[in-house]
A and B are shown apart, each in its own frame.
Chain A
Amino acid sequence: MSAKTWLVLRHELIITLTRPSFILAALGLPLIAGLIFGAASWLAPDTPAGAVGTAAPSAAPGLKREGFVDYAGIIHELPPDLAQGMLSEYPDEDAALAALRAGEISAYYVIAADYIDSGELTYTNPAYTLVGTGDQSWLMKQVLTANLLEGDRARLERFWNPMNLEQRPLQADERRDMASPLAFYVPYVTMMLLYATIMMAGSLLMNSITTEKQNRVLEILLGSVHPRELLAGKVAALGIAGLVQTFCWVGAGYVLLRLAGQRISLPADLQLSPSIIGWGLAFFALGYAVYATLMAGLGALAPSLKEASQGVTLVIWPLIVPLLFIWAMAEQPHAPYTVALSLFPLTSPTVMVLRLSLGGVPLWQPLLALALLALTAVLVLRAVARLFHAQVLLGAQGAITPKVLVRALMGKA
């Protein structure tokens, strides 16, 4: 690294890290999030322990009184362990509705006369919400099944639990078990961190160049520094600033979770091996170099921050698309389309890290992806350095369109 690059790096880093807007974004946002989080926790009522997921009616502490209207004549007996009056029969819907309005019951069921054929069961419950809170219909399901099976307890027991399943895969299954939340969250968090850091640092770089271009500081700088030295210094400094911001946010998130009493207890079988961290850093460094340089190119091309911001959409699309399909890709990390995206240089920084954190990737694939990414980084750096000459930096370009961007990168701007 030349002395001038080092000088640019140091200057850019000090300016960025001491800027009030950076400090506000790095520390202020987690603080605001903490305050909101605290307010929401403080306002939320405590949920009684054991209120959810209790199968036996008599053991469910939050059970509410309900009624039913049985037009099909199916219910002859109620579970013996159900307390008296917890499920009351009404002759018709009007009587049940009157009881509901009088507050005697919290909800009621109507079993259709042709229930055996249609299966129609209507549950009138004013406390029901779209996410299923206030739903106690599992109790009616048990009662109906027990009555349809004529109260035969042995048969009922066999019916509720007809098999103890043991899985015998005949070959290693490459699909992930997405039933485990960890299988989703580990790659998801890795990918989001990478995306956020690249975006934050890249945006800082683009803003810095556009502003310096607008206020003509760049003219003075280019009088004594080579464009490539300037670009390299800025890319490195703002990459470090982006990492600092990410660490502040991750740290704040961890502290908030600890304060909320939810310790991050990682299961024993979860191992984030040093090799994955190493791969992650390598893909991050090169991915950042590609995207930050492209952003710098945008900053150089655009006449003002407005046009530069509009142009960002063109550049970040390859980063956004994998985010939309992260679930499908995490479930099938070795499907052809996932492999293709993990090798393609503009998507490999996120998709390959996702695949590596899931495991089972042949060594040649990350190596090839890294080589392609490094080649792209060099090519993009050269193309963007070409943009850093006075004509482009000082000339007035219009809006950034795909055509303008491609022509500029091809050296035809």
Chain B
Amino acid sequence: MNRMWLIAWHEYAMRVLKKGFLLAVAALPVFVIAMVGLGAFIESTERDDRPLGYVDVAGALGDPRPPVAWARGPDDVGAARLVPMARFGSADEALAALRRGEIQAYYVLAPDYAQTRRVELYYLKAPGGNATRQFWSFLQVNQLGGLDPAVAERATAGSNLTVRWPEGTPGGAREFSPRTFLSNFLPMILAMANIYVLISTSSTLIEALVTEKENRTIEIMLTSVSTEQLVIGKVIGIVGMTLTLLAGWAALSVAAVWIGGQVFHLAILQNVRVDGGMALRMLVVAIPSLVLLSALVVALGITLSDAHEAQQTSGLFVLPSVAPFWFSMLIFQNPASPILTILTMVPLTALTMLALRLMLSAVPGWQVAASAAITALAAVGATWLAARAFRLGLLRYGKKLSLREIMGRSA
């Protein structure tokens, strides 16, 4: 048993205690932050905080109330950003201010506004959608002259809507609001991270195993350990490496959320709450999935005869992990469809399908439990298969093993 852990530690240390691994941990978050930063930069080049002008020659608004910041719904992660309103006595004055760059645009209420509600918007460069939304709410609140100001403001702003699933819903209690916006995407983030790990590491791992087999290192190792110890040790090492990678990304994400929310005061990153139940449902399927994939990587690495073939075959893992995305529309339209339940139970598609379903709709607890159990059984089976393939293929350099041979009784 000690030797198995020795192999696991060696496999883990060989991959994790390297500069390349640290780079792999840092590369994805750095890339995401760079993309978000660049997006924010482009957004900031478009942002215009100059006042919005308006001309009300007919006096339809009287002594107007200021515009009202609109309330937030479950998917409004950013707070309303209001710009000052500037009133002009005539269209000429507003035009001069626009040309001087003092305002970003101005609205002119037609003389017959009370009857026609006609408004003209003048600009040199079209203002953003928020400007129109702000002027819309400005006009709305000023239609409510006789009402109590607090009531008028509430009617204009609307409700801060929080949606909930009650206890006893197949997916458990859950909240949809700006503060849970990020955590609702957690299953998908985990599934995407899993696919990224698969794409970036599976071919390298398979090739490393094929090379070990080709250069006969394995023969030397087998003089002191059993095939089962070697295979299980390698699987544990690879699972450990993947978990370390995911934990590294999780730690960096937590740090990024804290810095973004507390230091840069980004609305989307403030009061972020993680739904523990949902995270647990994902983890019970994610961990056996990782073991299963690691065992399959080892089995393929042992079975295949050359590195070129190994590289082509690694795509086999990625396809089932991505396939559930093709059924996304079905999840919206018919979340209870049997095909979705089946794909949640199939070990290689289970993780992505569960992530999509958890994110988009409710998943009964029994399905999560069944999926976890089936995937765990498959992981044990794949490890057994890898050990058997390993024993059979030991002395067969340059020749592929067929599945029939691995499953047959001749071993």
Contact A40 B164 (CB under 8 A): no
Contact B143 A119 (CB under 8 A): no
Chain A residues near B (Cβ < 8 Å): 36, 39-40, 43-45, 47, 97, 100-101, 115-126, 128-133, 135, 137, 140-141, 144-145, 148-150, 155, 158-159, 161-171, 173-175, 304-306, 309, 324-325, 328, 332, 335
User: In the complex, which range does the number of interface residues on chain B fall in?
Assistant: 35 or more
Residues of B contacting A128 in the complex (Cβ-Cβ under 8 angstroms): 163, 165, 176
Residues of A contacting B158 in the complex (Cβ-Cβ under 8 angstroms): 119, 141
**A29 CB, min distance to chain B CBs, angstroms:** 11
**B232 CB, min distance to chain A CBs, angstroms:** 28
At the interface, yes or no: B224 with Cβ under 8 Å from chain A? no
Contact B308 A305 (CB under 8 A): yes
Residues of B contacting A141 in the complex (Cβ-Cβ under 8 angstroms): 158-159
Residues of B contacting A97 in the complex (Cβ-Cβ under 8 angstroms): 166
**A169 CB, min distance to chain B CBs, angstroms:** 6
Residues of A contacting B117 in the complex (Cβ-Cβ under 8 angstroms): 158, 161-164
CA distance A137 to B39 in the complex (A): 32
At the interface, yes or no: B125 with Cβ under 8 Å from chain A? yes
* Chain B 104-129 interface mask (CB, 8 Å, partner A; 1/0): 00000000000011111111111000
Tell me whether A123 and B118 are in contact in the complex, defined as CB-CB below 8 angstroms, given that A130-B184, A305-B311 are known contacts: no
> Nearest CB to that of B31 among chain A residues?
A324
Q: Which of B39, B168, B332 is packed against the most chain A CB atoms within 10 Å?
A: B332
At the interface, yes or no: B225 with Cβ under 8 Å from chain A? no
CA distance A338 to B264 in the complex (A): 28
CA distance A305 to B309 in the complex (A): 10
Contact A149 B38 (CB under 8 A): no
Contact A119 B154 (CB under 8 A): yes
Contact A100 B144 (CB under 8 A): no
Contact B165 A117 (CB under 8 A): no
> Nearest CB to that of B39 among chain A residues?
A328
Contact A159 B155 (CB under 8 A): yes
At the interface, yes or no: B132 with Cβ under 8 Å from chain A? yes
Contact B118 A116 (CB under 8 A): no
Contact B151 A116 (CB under 8 A): yes
At the interface, yes or no: B335 with Cβ under 8 Å from chain A? yes
Contact A335 B45 (CB under 8 A): yes
> Nearest CB to that of A96 among chain B residues?
B166
13 contacts between A and B (CB under 8 A): A44-B333, A126-B362, A130-B176, A137-B161, A148-B154, A159-B140, A161-B117, A162-B117, A162-B140, A162-B143, A174-B125, A306-B207, A332-B46
CA distance A135 to B169 in the complex (A): 16
Tell me whether A36 and B162 are in contact in the complex, defined as CB-CB below 8 angstroms, given that A161-B117, A170-B122 are known contacts: no
Contact B332 A163 (CB under 8 A): no
CA distance A131 to B132 in the complex (A): 25
Residues of A contacting B135 in the complex (Cβ-Cβ under 8 angstroms): 163
Residues of A contacting B139 in the complex (Cβ-Cβ under 8 angstroms): 162-163
Contact B166 A100 (CB under 8 A): yes
At the interface, yes or no: B71 with Cβ under 8 Å from chain A? yes
At the interface, yes or no: B360 with Cβ under 8 Å from chain A? yes
> Nearest CB to that of A121 among chain B residues?
B159
At the interface, yes or no: B215 with Cβ under 8 Å from chain A? no
CA distance A115 to B308 in the complex (A): 66
Contact B160 A121 (CB under 8 A): yes
Tell me whether A126 and B118 are in contact in the complex, defined as CB-CB below 8 angstroms, given that A159-B144, A306-B311 are known contacts: no
